[in-house]
């Protein structure tokens, strides 16, 4: 991304003290910012990975505004907010006044007037969270729960926390492969951005040409169209979900063909580094992106990712609320 655009992202996301105010994208954040999020998330995890409750958002109201269907993201945000003792409202945007002709801007202003402190937003349009943070509700902390094909920053950070806790060595020594539909995946973009910022040794993307975006090499990744070669020696293997609408289209002939060429099977895991980490953002299509014996195998961290997602989202909610209050000069010492 152009330096001017990155500077704008930093200005929107950070307060005057350089601390997190909104969490919209991994772009524009420094290694120090990402490390601070990961270290904060660690404070919500016990020795065995159990979630630790802390009443940091007591008396605050978090509204989940999901314009797209979601199970894991919406639920883990709700759990995260409740474990921080926030009041949580899940707004059914399919039944909102936007269906009656009210503009999105007016809907958000009305929700803000109901004493909302924070919006967690998933939207089909890329850039929607940025628009809301900059132009609609700048005084409410905005957390991006996924926008179009652009970004899914909390998924990227929970993936980084998973790697950090289980890789056994620093990011600077890791080779990470991201496999599947790179072209349409906001998860892939966020993972690539986070891995680059945290200094990963090598980032590989493995996919057929039809599922690679134009100019992908400019993102600082190594491209492989051959799966067997791409996974060789990798420390981390991240399989992406194939969206059903791609199957049978010119982009992807069939699920069987994709699995044959790009499915994460036991034999391919064996080509990676010993004890390579296996990850998937979910929901999984077993027998398409990943074999069941791999998804359920000893190297799989897929369920760990879900658990760590709660801790990461707790960290992002707490830090963003702290940054908003700090910006307004209203910082409650209990949030520090």
Question: Is 152 annotated as a binding-site member?
Answer: yes
Tell whether omega for the bond before 283 is within 30 degrees of 0, i.e. cis: yes
Q: Where are the alpha helices (DSSP H) in the chain?
A: 3-13, 31-42, 72-83, 104-113, 128-131, 153-166, 186-197, 227-230, 255-262, 266-271, 292-295, 302-328
**Known binder of ligand: residue 72?**
yes
- Cβ atoms of 320 and 143 within 8 Å: the answer is yes
Tell me if 183 is assigned to a ligand binding site.
Answer: no
- As a three-state string, the secondary structure of 219-245 is HCCEEECCHHHHCCCCCEEEECCCCHH
Three-state SS for 266? helix
Is 204 annotated in some ligand binding site?
Answer: no
- Outline where 14-71 has alpha helix (H): 31-42
Q: Which residues contact 284 (CB under 8 A, 6 or more apart)?
A: 239, 241, 290, 295, 302
- The answer to the question of whether 186 is labelled as a binding residue is yes
DSSP letter string, 69-84: --SHHHHHHHHHHHHT
Determine whether the annotation assigns residue 100 to a binding site: yes
Q: Which residues are annotated as a binding site for L-aspartate?
A: 100, 186, 241
Known binding residues for carbamoyl phosphate are: 72-73, 122, 152, 155, 282-283
Known binding-site residues equal 72-73, 100, 122, 152, 155, 186, 241, 282-283
């Amino acid at each position: 991304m152009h330096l001017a655009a990155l500077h704008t992202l930093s200005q929107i996301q950070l307060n005057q003290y350089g601390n997190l105010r909104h969490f919209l994208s991994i772009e524009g954040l420094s290694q120090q910012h990402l490390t601070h999020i990961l270290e904060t998330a660690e404070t919500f995890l016990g020795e065995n990975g159990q979630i630790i409750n802390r009443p940091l958002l007591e008396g605050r109201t978090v509204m989940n505004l999901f314009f797209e269907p979601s199970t894991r993201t919406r639920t883990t945000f709700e759990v995260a907010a409740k474990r921080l003792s926030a009041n949580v409202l899940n707004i059914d945007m399919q039944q909102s006044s936007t269906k009656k002709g009210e503009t999105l801007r007016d809907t958000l202003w009305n929700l803000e007037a109901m004493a909302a402190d924070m919006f967690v937003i998933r939207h089909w349009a890329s850039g929607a969270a940025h628009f809301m943070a900059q132009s609609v509700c700048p005084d409410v902390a905005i957390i991006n729960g996924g926008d179009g094909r652009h970004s899914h920053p909390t998924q990227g950070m929970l993936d980084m926390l998973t790697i950090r806790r289980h890789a056994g060595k620093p990011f600077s020594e890791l080779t990470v492969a991201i496999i599947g539909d790179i072209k349409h995946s906001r998860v892939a973009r966020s993972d690539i951005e986070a891995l680059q910022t945290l200094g990963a040794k090598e980032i590989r993307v493995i996919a057929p040409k039809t599922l690679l975006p134009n100019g992908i090499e400019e993102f600082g990744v190594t491209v492989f169209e051959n799966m067997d070669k791409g996974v060789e020696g990798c420390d981390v293997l991240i399989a992406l979900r194939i969206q059903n609408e791609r199957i049978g289209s010119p982009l992807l002939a069939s699920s069987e063909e994709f699995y044959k060429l790009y499915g994460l099977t036991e034999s391919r895991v064996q080509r990676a580094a010993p004890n390579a980490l296996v990850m998937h953002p979910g929901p999984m299509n077993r027998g398409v992106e990943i074999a069941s014996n791999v998804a359920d195998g000893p190297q799989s961290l897929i369920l760990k990712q879900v658990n760590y997602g709660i801790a990461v989202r707790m960290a992002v909610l707490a830090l963003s609320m702290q940054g908003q209050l700090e910006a307004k000069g209203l910082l409650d010492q209990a949030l520090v």
